[in-house]
Chains A and B, each alone.
Chain A
Amino acid sequence: MGAQIRVYRQKIASTTSMQKIFKAMELIATSRIGKARTRVSASLPYSNAITRAVSAVASQSEVDHPLTTEPDSIRRAAVLVMTSDRGLAGSYSASILKQAEHLIELLHSEGKDVTTYLVGRKAQAYFEFRGRDYERVWTGGTDAPEFETARELREVLLEDFATDFEDGGVDEIHVVYTQFKSMVVQEPTVIRLLPLEVVEEEIESSTDLLPLYDYEPAPEEVLDALLPRYIESRIFSALLQAAASELAARQRAMKSAGDNASDLIKKYTRLRNNARQAEITQELSEIVAGADALNAS
């Protein structure tokens, strides 16, 4: 009897300390998410300006640039998967990896080789546990990505893109990341980064029409300078959105874990009280029975 009460007490104590951890992690995620969202919106002016410029050059000049030209046949594709470094974020990394698996399967079924690039320790662990190859991995700071990381990613990806297939190069590059739509909706998304499909802005009024630009130096060189920056900014914005999504997912996961913990505590407290009461009742009836026996003799 007493043993059972002790077991319940231990369970209550351990669940309470876990609940404290969940609560703390939820608070940390909540405080960071505001900052992450600010960073997403702070990067918008840059990416808008760059997108506008790229569409201006791409739509006006008949420049053939390797980055925008569709290769005759795509034999090898690169997939960049953005997961988190740390767990305890619910299904965040799992759903990204699932999306990536779908994409890889699809690419395989189209007869393409696939090389993977990973961001985040969770993706690394997933691939290593299954003994699968990956080209390169970037870890650390998935919840607060630096622009330098985006630059490094761009350099590596562009270098492989520029390499011939025979020398291990890739013909197209896909990115799998989580799009941050709102605090409650984050969607695993696949975009094709290269070759570029420049998204034309919707023209709402005649003032939005792109003017005929002069280029300095030549259009080719302007495009040479613009495109890597454009890719960089798309990778960076994907990283920032992934970070915001990670924090939102963690906040939600920790909130429900904390709620479940308080449910458990309540349940164990009731069981403990029950056991204690049963013990008292039993002791009482033993005493009464003993007294009765003495009186009878």
Chain B
Amino acid sequence: MANLEVEIVAADHFVWSGAATMVKGFTSEGEIGILPGHTPLLAVLAAGLLEIAPVDGDRFTVDVDGGFFSVDSNRVVIVADSAQLESGAVSSAGIH
């Protein structure tokens, strides 16, 4: 199965990008999980922890305080007002 291509950006810096098998987060409506093949979606992100399962390495979480995210053809773009990688996160694509 194809993987998700995830990109997390904050207002003034780039946070993380890489391949993942799952992204879990909170919208203003409730919790949502994104798996590969998800229908195109544009949703408002609520403050909370995003959980990302990268293809390589362990799951990690990102602390975001609101924003939005879009999903289209396995590409997930998470746009947060500010985002903080939880310590211990291993990034596959590297942090800039």
Q: Complex: how many Å from CA A222 to CA B72?
A: 16
Cross-chain contact A53 with B68 (CB below 8 angstroms) = yes
Chain B min CB distance to A241 (Å):
14
The answer to whether A53 and B79 touch (CB under 8 A), given A42-B13, A45-B7, A226-B68, is: yes
Residues of B close to A50: CB separation below 8 A? 79
The answer to whether A56 and B42 touch (CB under 8 A), given A46-B9, A222-B68, A229-B67, is: yes
Majority secondary structure of chain A interface residues (helix, strand, loop or mixed): helix
Cross-chain contact B42 with A236 (CB below 8 angstroms) = no
Given A39-B12, A46-B10, A217-B44, 18 more contacts at CB 8 Å? A42-B12, A49-B7, A49-B79, A52-B70, A53-B70, A56-B70, A214-B39, A214-B40, A216-B27, A216-B28, A216-B29, A216-B32, A222-B42, A222-B43, A222-B68, A229-B67, A229-B68, A233-B11
Chain A min CB distance to B23 (Å):
14
Give A residues with C-beta under 8 Å from B: 39, 42-43, 45-46, 49-50, 52-53, 56-57, 147, 210-217, 221-222, 225-226, 229, 232-233, 236
How extensive is the interface on chain B, given as a class?
Answer: 20 to 34
For B8, give the chain A residue with the smallest CB separation.
A45
Cross-chain contact A46 with B11 (CB below 8 angstroms) = yes
Residues of A close to B13: CB separation below 8 A? 42
The answer to whether A46 and B12 touch (CB under 8 A), given A53-B68, A211-B73, A213-B70, is: yes
Residues of A close to B70: CB separation below 8 A? 49, 52-53, 56, 213
Majority secondary structure of chain B interface residues (helix, strand, loop or mixed): strand
For B15, give the chain A residue with the smallest CB separation.
A45
Q: Complex: how many Å from CA A267 to CA B11?
A: 52
Residues of A close to B79: CB separation below 8 A? 46, 49-50, 53, 229
Cross-chain contact A49 with B43 (CB below 8 angstroms) = no
Q: Complex: how many Å from CA A213 to CA B44?
A: 13
Chain B min CB distance to A149 (Å):
12
Residues of B close to A43: CB separation below 8 A? 11-12
Cross-chain contact A214 with B77 (CB below 8 angstroms) = no
Chain B min CB distance to A42 (Å):
5
Residues of B close to A57: CB separation below 8 A? 42
Cross-chain contact B40 with A216 (CB below 8 angstroms) = no
The answer to whether A45 and B14 touch (CB under 8 A), given A216-B27, A216-B29, A225-B44, is: yes
For A221, give the chain B residue with the smallest CB separation.
B44
Residues of B close to A221: CB separation below 8 A? 28, 44
B65 at interface (Cβ–Cβ under 8 A)?
A: no
B89 at interface (Cβ–Cβ under 8 A)?
A: no
Residues of B close to A232: CB separation below 8 A? 11
For A146, give the chain B residue with the smallest CB separation.
B12
Can you spell out 12 A-B residue pairs with CB atoms less than 8 angstroms apart?
Answer: A42-B12, A46-B10, A46-B79, A53-B77, A213-B70, A213-B72, A215-B43, A216-B41, A216-B43, A217-B43, A221-B44, A233-B11
Q: Complex: how many Å from CA A42 to CA B11?
A: 9
Name the 3 nearest CB pairs between A and B, nearest first. A211-B40, A216-B43, A213-B42
Per-residue contact bits, chain B 69-83, to A (CB 8 Å; 1 contact, 0 not): 010110001010100
Residues of A close to B12: CB separation below 8 A? 39, 42-43, 46, 147, 236
